[in-house]
Structure formats: C-alpha cells, structure tokens
Amino acid sequence: MNKNPMGQKRRVCVIGAGTAGLCALKNSLESGMDAVAYERGTEIGGTWIFSEDMPENDYDEVHSSMYDGLRTNLPKEVMGYPDYAYDNDIEDSFITSHEVLNFLRSYAEHFKLGPHIKLQHEVIRVRPRLDDWEVYVWDHTTNTCDPVYYDFVYVCNGHYTEPDVPEVEGADLYEGKLMHSHLYRRADKFRDENVLIIGAGPSGMDITNHVRREAKHVYLSHHLATAPNTAFMGNVTQKPDVERLTKNGAVFKDGSSESFDHVLFCTGYKYTFPCLSTDVGIQVIDNFVQPLWKHCININNPTMAFIGLLFNVIPTHIFDMQVRFTLAFFTGQREMPPREQMIAELEKEIGQRWDCGFYNRKKAHQMGERQFDYYNELARMAGIDNIKPVILKLMKDCGKKYIFELDTYRSNRYTIVDDENFLKNGKMAN
Ligand code: FAD
C-alpha cells in the first residue's frame, strides 16, 4: 500500500512542523512513503518558539503561546520520542522552552527531515477528490499558490492558538484591561497591578505563579473541586467563578466583589482547522472534533488523520503512537475497519463518557485516567509497540503536581533506569 498501482510511492502531506508534524513526517518517510511537511512559520517547533513580536497582518498571526520563564510541566524524561530521547547532559528534568526547541531541532537533524520540510509554506485549503487529496499551498517566499496532490494527509496544525474566551456578563461594561494567556509573554506587564486570573489549569496556575511576583495582588478565579495549593503565594486570593464583570472589577458567584486593573483569561483554546474544506467531513462542535475513529482517523475520509487532539496525555509519546497506529492502516499492514464499525466504536466511547457524567463535548478529547486503556487499544489493534511502562509510571508520578505542589515539583529530578524503573531524586521510585 505504500506504493500506488503504478509503482510510485504513496504521497503524504503533513500540515505543520511542530512536535506532532515532525514525527508524522519521520514515521511516514520510514514507512517508505514520499512525505512533505508544510510549515507556515519560518522555523520548526510550533508551540516551543518564544516570540514577543506581535502580528501586523493575518499571515503573521501569533501561533505560539509560549511565554518568558516557562519551564515544562512534564519532565523531559517523558517528553522525548520513543526512539529519540533527551540528552542526559541537561541535568534538570523540568526544562525551558528553548531546550525543548533545541531538542526538536536535533530530532529533525538526526532523522534528516530538513529536505522534506517546506518552511513559510502555508496550507490554505484541503479538499478530497475521488482518489486523493487536493492541497493548496501558499508559498510565502514567492507569494504563489499551487495545488499539490496527496494520498494521505496528516493534520498537525496545533491546538493552542485560538483562544477560548467565555462569555461573561458585563464584559461590555468593564473598562480595565483584558488579555488571553495566548498573548501573555512577560509578568512585568502586570507590575504593581491588581490582576484577576480566570482558570486554574496548567497555564492558569503557572502564569499565576509568574504574575504574582510582579503584581500587587492576584485573584485566581476557578471552579476546581479541590482548591489548589496557593498557600506559598502570599498575594494570591482564590475566588469562585465570576458572576459578572463591573466597570472596574467583578462580582463572584459567592456574592463577593473585587476591583482590579487587568483580567487575564487562562480559559483554554479551541480546535480550528481553517484550511479544511467542508467536504473533508469534519465538524467541531463545542470543541468536539468529529467524526474521528480513535480520536485520529477521519471516518468520512479515512486517508486523513489528526495527530495530537488529545489532552491530559503524554503528548510526544501519544503523537508518535497515533502516527504509527494510522500508518499501520495507511500502509495496508492492517485493514481499515468498515465505516459502520468505526461509527459504532465512536458512539460507544462517547456514550461511556457521557454516562459517567464527568465528560461533556468540551472534554471529548480529554484522557486522564482513560489514556492507559487507549494506549493498550492502539497497540493491540495496530500491532505496534506500546508506550514503555517506565514512561507511564513516571507520568503517573507527575499527575496534578501543577495544582498541589506548584512551588516545589519542578525541582524533582528523574532518571530512567530501564523500561520499568526510574529514579526520583536519586532514589528508586515505585
Ligand atoms: P504546535 O507545536 O502548535 O505545532 C503546529 C505547527 O503547525 C506550527 O508550527 C504552525 O505554524 C503550523 N501550522 C498551523 N497551521 C498551518 C498551516 N495551515 N499550514 C502550515 N503550517 C501550519 N506539552 C508537554 O509535553 N510538556 C509541557 O510542559 C507543555 N507545556 C506547554 C505550555 C504551553 C504554554 C502550551 C501552549 C502548551 C504546552 N504543552 C506542553 C503542549 C504542547 O503544545 C504540545 O506538547 C506540543 O508541542 C504540540 O505540538 P503540535 O505539533 O501538535 O502543535
């Protein structure tokens, strides 16, 4: 299947050259496909590129949400690819965005991906034809746009670019400053201000910890069942959800009110696929991308796969696994199930999620505890290597630390001993 009936190699189009796109490209090439990754930016790395330059036109839209001083919320020991790990020369486990970017560059260099990556090439339209895909690529270096044809498409355009800002009553009355974490770059912008941060996910918690060092006072509004540990942050007060914004502050659900200068929404992002035409057959409803088989294969056009939609997972490892899973079908090593079976499996999974009450459409791609069954299923169905037990154990050790051990957990150092075991701060962990 990696050759067409005329004996030519199958052609793979990868949209984006971030963590997901790079491994889609590498694995496709290794499967004997003729693969190209189109990257609209001037360099590879996606999310991990830190830039303070703000856009002047549409093309230069801000892609990365990276900010100054970020250290990863997962240790580098689980952030490598299964066949390419971080160098042990970096002592810390929780590393800077620059170190992640360097790692991605070294991955691309190691697997000689450079000649297969087209920088400043933006995919602006993808549409299915009878037997293949028509992909329009805008070359920003020549300002030309041509159609190119592919057998398979990997959508790896990233999901931390389009802010999800909730509608809040009174927003039109509020006269202070507003920002979404997508455009947050430095804490000193909030110097001596009173700041309301909305949302206590990984970004909300981390940004609170940065901003509170410069701000006069931070109010952290969230609806987590268990309050995060903000005890070490003297100038942070936790608040429930915002009931409504006022001219210079907010009234909260518990009836209390506060005044502040700046609101910072850390309320997440939306999945968007602006380059996919409607006949691709994919809809995003309340952040639920559907219909997808196993959260990656487009059921309506199963020669297209989406890599990395899942959250609360081990990102790099699951990207690589989803790519290997889909390639097992794209190369014909495994037979793609019929459409009815894929739909039935999707409905079953979604039914289970709805039934347990915790999941709604917005959480349709959230994994958490479900991730381990998912990994087993992909490995079994496609006959591919599973994620090593040591990576899963290490991941479990890191769970929720950004909420309850925010001030201390990044000083932990991990060392992988073998496929099963790791050391934590020099001691064998279990
Ligand atoms: P991206 O890195 O966003 O790459 C997508 C690429 O596609 C970009 O280069 C973009 O320019 C390109 N592109 C988009 N549209 C087009 C188009 N039409 N044509 C051509 N190119 C296009 N993960 C961790 O594992 N550990 C962490 O500590 C961690 N911290 C994070 C902190 C922040 C602030 C954020 C936002 C995310 C963090 N993540 C972390 C998640 C991280 O984003 C993922 O792990 C991973 O980097 C996402 O890779 P990606 O390839 O899916 O997307």
The mean pLDDT of 230-252, rounded to a whole number, is 96
- State pLDDT tens for residues 147-200: 999 999 999 999 999 999 999 999 999 999 999 999 999 999 999 999 999 999
In this predicted structure, the answer to whether residue 60 has a pLDDT above a threshold of 70 is: no
Assign 3-class secondary structure to the chain: CCECCCCCECEEEEECCCHHHHHHHHHHHHCCCEEEEEECCCCCCHHHCCCCCCCCCCCCCCCCCCCCCCECCCCHHHHCECCECCCCCCCCCCCEHHHHHHHHHHHHHHCCCHHHEEECEEEEEEEECCCCEEEEEEECCCCEEEEEEECEEEECCCCCCEECCCCCCCCCCCCCEEEEHHHCCCHHHHCCCEEEEECCCHHHHHHHHHHCCCCCEEEEECCCCCCCCCCCCCCEEEECCEEEECCCEEEECCCCEEECCEEEECCCEECCCCCECHHHCCEEECCEEECEECCCEECCCCCEEECCCCECCCHHHHHHHHHHHHHHHHCCCCCCCCHHHHHHHHHHHHHHHHHCCCCCHHHCCECHHHHHHHHHHHHHHHCCCCCCHHHHHHHHHHCCHHHHCCCCHHHCCEEECCCCCEEECCEECC
* Confidence at residue 108, expressed as pLDDT on a 0 to 100 scale: 98
* Confidence at residue 57, expressed as pLDDT on a 0 to 100 scale: 53
In this predicted structure, the answer to whether residue 313 has a pLDDT above a threshold of 60 is: yes
What is the Å distance from ligand 1's center to 46 Cα? 5
- State pLDDT tens for residues 108-131: 999 999 999 999 999 999 999 999
The mean pLDDT of 276-285, rounded to a whole number, is 97
The mean pLDDT of 318-333, rounded to a whole number, is 97
In this predicted structure, the answer to whether residue 399 has a pLDDT above a threshold of 60 is: yes
Whole-model pTM: value is 0.96
Residue nearest to atom 31 of ligand 1 (CA): 72
Who wins on pLDDT, 54 or 349?
Answer: 349
Residue nearest to atom 30 of ligand 1 (CA): 72
What is the Å distance from ligand 1's center to 419 Cα? 27
Q: How confident is the model at residue 404 (pLDDT cuts 50, 70, 90)?
A: confident
* Confidence at residue 1, expressed as pLDDT on a 0 to 100 scale: 60
- State pLDDT tens for residues 84-110: 999 988 999 999 999 999 999 999 999
Ligand 1 pocket at CB < 6 A: 15-21, 38-41, 46-47, 63, 65-66, 72-74, 79, 122-123, 156-158, 160, 203, 275, 308, 315
The mean pLDDT of 204-231, rounded to a whole number, is 95
Query: Mean of the per-residue pLDDT values for the chain?
Result: 94
- Which of 47, 136, 137, 316 has most ligand 1 atoms within 8 Å of its beta carbon, as the pocket-test mutant? 47
Q: What percent of the chain has pLDDT over 70?
A: 98
What is the Å distance from ligand 1's center to 169 Cα? 32
Buried-exposed string 206-235: b where 16+ CB fall within 10 A, e elsewhere:
bbbbbbbebbebbbbbbeeeeebebeebee
In this predicted structure, the answer to whether residue 355 has a pLDDT above a threshold of 50 is: yes
The mean pLDDT of 394-416, rounded to a whole number, is 90
In this predicted structure, the answer to whether residue 328 has a pLDDT above a threshold of 60 is: yes
What is the Å distance from ligand 1's center to 105 Cα? 14
For the chain, list the domains and their CATH numbers. 11-161+269-387 (3.50.50.60), 171-265 (3.50.50.60), 393-428 (no CATH)
* Confidence at residue 59, expressed as pLDDT on a 0 to 100 scale: 46
Q: Which atom of ligand 1 is closest in space to residue 78's alpha carbon?
A: 25
* Confidence at residue 58, expressed as pLDDT on a 0 to 100 scale: 47
The mean pLDDT of 234-246, rounded to a whole number, is 97
